[in-house]
Structure 1
């Protein structure tokens, strides 16, 4: 027997497995640990800087309030005092602090090298938002020197009036340097662990491979016909049991030939009772054996089928059996119609020739497999791929045509070029919405979407949903009526996802309701569940389309829906979200009268945190 190299031995494979297991475990732990620390350090850093900005805003409010309120006289406190407070009490390492008045003019800067900005306007987006009274303004970025920084802007003013803003731009390099040091320590520990694991693997694998090598030598002797020697059994572990089993196998090897006929009978019994259908025919094509599953698929009894020609039983032509008689397998797809089934039954039939001891065929074996479920799944997959391909091809074709037009000279005309770029941007946004909807459906289908429920006031939720479309409603003179029954109570639900359902239903109602129309949003209780309906007096949906309205990519008016930016997935997503809450959704519509979509959400008893 030829020798094998060390890297092809089980010992080497065991060592590699040990090392890989430790490496993977350390990497997983390290990624989780480092990510957690990074999140903690970033959160702590941002919270600290935000707190300093808030405290500084409170100090600066008195200066700016007196400066802006005393229009006729001098302020009691000068900006010089404010500059001293900023530089002495609120100085932050590797950070610049600016105090900005209500007009966006920089009053003071803590960075001595950047005093030239005092008196000029700060037009940063965060500052503009802060001067508008928006409190949460922060942004992380990397400057031209590769330094990662964060911008925080807070409005100055405890009341309605905003006197100015506090603007902080701080370096986050200390946080990332700390994370880098922790990563280096972890890598060093990982390397030490791998070395120790490799040494331990060499020792442990040797205790396993040596007995296996002895069994291999004995197996070679048995293959050569020497049955007088046995493997030494040194223990009762798995290797010892393998040695004992090998010895027992050697003793029973001669007896195996006498059990050949018995094994054949067992095999025949298995073939007769297996889950796939099995039909055996003789050389004339007459059925001689048919198992239970085949009778169920073909809906025949054994007495009637025994002796029938195989072609008559399966409804196939004799030509289908000829390739099997020639020695090769032949597969055909049969469509069977049964009385208790709505659609056809798809059965894959595999024909295999049986060869006797003499030349020529001795019969045919037919294996029947019910692939109805697979066929339906494949059909759904083909439809889904076709729909996705069509939805992506249309905007891509549009983008390509406009880009080619720009390339051919339209770019030289600013007005026309702007129009083409706008169309390309709209088509790109449409593709992004499509992919986002597909990802959300995928998460909902695979039960990976997280449903975070919270107590929600139903009336507030409905009013906010209507407010989000106030501009479109006012523009098209559509009246919205919100009705909430008195018995409706607060409900535990995922507010963001239910808002998405409401937005989709209200948006559809607006799209397909003529100008001056009416939309009614109603909430009530039925069977211990909250029932919410969105009804419009729009164009309605034909009856033939109602059964498929919740299918993915299905549109009643494909051209109009696509022109309005729809992806055909809105109602599908709404249904999956409602189902994830344990509810149901249904649609009623009459062409020319209007549409009513109703979904229910079960009430759940809130568990006390006690």
Structure 2
């Protein structure tokens, strides 16, 4: 899991929220405090200057009154007047100079009689035409304003009338700098900003520490959730308290335990399902709601001769060779099944597969997919075909001699009975056909008993060499007639064996008889007995006759199956000899096989087991 950047984390967001709240609160407090403090300091400063102006007005009134009363009309005592102004100037400089303000005393004519600034003595005797002065000389007491001089210094202007009643004899004009007030405000603001920064720093530190108590459990939950997503359930979230986060941690641990149990159960069920699917005798294909393959088991891949990599995601209709319309018809039909024929290059016989469709229904979604079950019914189809062929063959085998017998009997009825020579011939043919039917029925009865396990195998101890020699003797006349040589060989390790002599003789007679029938004159037949191991006896009959085509080898032991039907019937065969031989060998617990090459001859080999008590070590 990727790490979260600090500024994207909850901890950073909590700290930022705390800081913003502190900043907003401090800003509001600062704005209110600064405004209130500025108003208070400014008001106090103005009130103080007004008080000084009123005090100076009262003090300067005696000088201006004396000057007005003592000054002669023709010019008079100038020395006394100058002294009076000098005294006033000295009082102004000594008492009000520390205010660092320019103080002017103005007489009733608007002339400046004294000033507190030594650098501005040139204004004495000149007329002050400021609006505030004019208003004060008119008796208006409230005359004040603030302004900023060209040097950027904020100043306060106050003018107070001198006199009382309706007679005003002068004015006091004060121009004072307010920089000290604003400097005091700036210092206070700097103190406030410094305190705010310290508060923010402490808030940030405390925020980191306090928010960690919230974010650390969340980080632990996130980390554990990542482990759970990876399938690791070996650790649990540490519970750090009984608050909401602690309860969340307990719930998460409980959920993790239940999830582990559910996943374990799911894995077990999944393994069971996978095992069932893998070991099913039937093929299974599952599709999604779009009809595309999502699951295919081993048996289905074997039946269809496909691999999983190419089939996953393939439409089911394409995989089975159906059109979408046929698939929809099968899904909507009553039996939901169809029989398919597959022809694989590596197999000679077709493969019959029955496909059964089942629709998967999902709650709230309707049809969510399809399950197709593939059953290999090749054996059943072949069995049905064999049964049909068996009935047809039996009917044909019986109908042919019966038809022949009927035709000859009809001929006898029609007058052939009166001719002894012809009648004897017809009776002989009927007799032969009757014997043929009897052999056929006997073979069928024998096969039926072998199939139903109703044949008793009466075993007796038999010498193999003696048994094979007797077989060769029984066919010696036929072998001499066809000039066919016979060779009987028995390996030294062959021992006597317990078997049903009559039935094994029947097997050997059938094999030797077939070899004589299909071996041309001057041929050679070899009867061999050996022991491939101490537990089995192996007997083979080999000829160098016409052989059997490869395409017929797989069906050579089927009942009524003939490679050359016309020739077989002509030689009196019923087509059941090899089938009976196989059943007799199987009844003895052995097996039989046939190897042949067209034009090269045929070799039939059957093995019989020695009984355990007969094994000599």
Q: Which category describes the TM-score, using the shorter chain as reference length? A: 0.3 to 0.5
Q: What's the TM-score, normalizing by structure 1?
A: 0.45
Q: Which protein is bigger by CA-based radius of gyration?
A: 2
